[in-house]
Structure 1
Amino acid sequence: MQIPQRSVDHGRRAIVVGSGPNGLTSAALLARAGWQVDVYERNAHPGGAAASAATLGPGTIVDLGAAGHPFGVASPVFRDLDLTSHGLEWVHAEVPMAHPLPHGEAAILHRDVETTAQGLGPDAGRWRSIHGHVTEHIDEHLENLLGPMLRVPPHPFRLARFGPVAAAPASWVANAAFSTEAARTLFLGSAAHAIVPLTMPFTGAFGMLFGALGMSRGWPVVRGGTGQLVKALLSVLHTHGGRVHLNHEVTNLAELPAADAIILNLTPAQVLRVTGTTDEAGSQLAHPTRRRLRGWRYGTAAYKVDFLLDGPIPWTNPAVAGAGTVHVVGGSQELIRAEA
């Protein structure tokens, strides 16, 4: 996204509907730029699923919807907002990710390309070739990929280097580029975070990017739980005069005060509901936009189960114990089938 300039512009008003991390980030940026910002949230707490609670008993901290935060720690916007000065602290494990394999073997994603490659035997060179450039220039790649789709990318040369492998299905890249199960599972395990079948085009991009994030910025968690990330965003928002209205469900945009900009941090179905779904003149969305929103098909959800352990997990390979994220799924073909 394009970050608003910090010059104060009194009189401009923005309304944000939904206080998930994206909505709060937009609100914080606009408030810092001098806008009057109001956020409306139907629940009793802000943040949506970016919340933490003691669901496993007193003294426990359980993230309700989050896992690791590779995009969070590398986010250009979070860095620009200086969330660490508002209480946010990232916590890194010894290694970002591990993938146990049969017979006590394991594939390990380290915090740098070279150490990771050295553990992949004959696939070391191919691993460096695919990930080296992206990892070395991760900030420029993120600026290319996280901005608006319809624009000239700020770093076109970097994007061109990203392209060939990125356009291919992750399953094809894994089988064509690598000869070992360790390299295949590391690549596919990163790509699986796209939460779409690994046989789909462009899932190779997720494999490259998620792996590169781990080898450059890591896959950390938030100290104190992901709810602390929301608190940091709220701190920025409140510092610059923004307001959050909890227990306030917006059922139609017509009920909102006049504003220069309205930002909807909602799902397609919710957007249709608050804007009106008919072709009547009073509807707030153009017909082509409504048609696209009606055609949206939700994919398979990610399911989360939390366990309270009474001791360390006795991994067959002790190197797995140092990983913040462990993919327990078997080999590469099992992973492809599981994500189909």
Structure 2
Amino acid sequence: MQTMWIVEVFCITGWLAIFFAKGAWWLDFGRLFLGFGIALQCYVVPVYIAEITPKTIRGGCTAANQLSVCCGLSLMFFIGNLLSWRTLALIGTIPCLLQVVGLFFVPESPRWLAKIGREKEFEASLQRLRGKNANISQEVAEIRDYTEMLQQISESKFLDLFDRKYAHALIVGVGLMLLTQFGGTSGVSFYASSIFARAGSSATVGTTAMAIIQIPSSASSIFLMDTFGRRPLLMVASAGACLGSFLIGLAFLLQDFHQQQELVTILVLTGILVYFSFFSMGMGNTPWIIMSEIFPINIKGSAGSLVTLVNWFCSWIVSYAFNFLFEWSSAGVFFIFAGICGSIVLFVAKLVPETKGQTLEEIQESMIHLLK
């Protein structure tokens, strides 16, 4: 919970710095603080949701977080066509302030309370989350047994992440973050207007369509996550993103050969909508859900820091390099993205475990057994 408070401090400071900006340095400062806040939030919120929800609905509840993010992005896409960037920055502080108020009513994670030895508060928090009349005895026993087992291990340091018993979880975590970011989402999101302009279509129409398509796609993941599981959803979503990238690459390849401009425009719009619908359905949220589930609580903080660093560093690389790659070959960059999205399917099939329907303790036990 303390981390969530820190998140809001970073985000509110960042938005206000942008709103009151008198020059580029203020904008950079605001964007830096927003970066810290959003990076923390991307990992902390799924972890918190995973730790407080029952195993049968954990995936859907965590996916609901991504739906909220998509709704917020879509709203900003819409009103961004009508309002100035300063006004948008001021509007950005509103959900942060609402969350500050809401945090007063949010219970602490029972698993975290158990980890630090606050037994009475641990049981009270779990009872509050499950309901007054719910029988929590079995869940309490499972969490307590697992916590006692972890307490027999010495306090984890950052380098302990690279112990062999955590190798599989670390490979999965870092691999998913690296591949999903190099699949092009940051480049396509940040330069969508330029992509539409290069294809000869309206950037306003294109970005509005992007905003609309993401909401039902994200909403569908809430129901699909705990029905079909993380692995199938992530594999289908990656294959769909691969198809979307391929269609965009094909469109620009036709444009390079001066073929049918109308077809180019249609293919680019179709490809981007396909890409974002599948990304919102599974690629955007499933890796974060898996991250919140596979790491034991004793290394969750350091492991989360590492995978979040990898995610945002790769995002920065793609954001920085996209414009240069797009100028080099508008078709080639999307064929690269298509190849990387396709490789995610293979990565998931070979290495990523299914976590649907298991408690966090069962997942972490199975990750260790896979190495034996």
| TM-score, normalised relative to structure 2 | 0.22
Bigger strand share: 1
Q: Which has the higher contact order (CA 8 A, sep 6+)?
A: 1
| TM-score, normalised relative to structure 1 | 0.24
Bigger helix share: 2
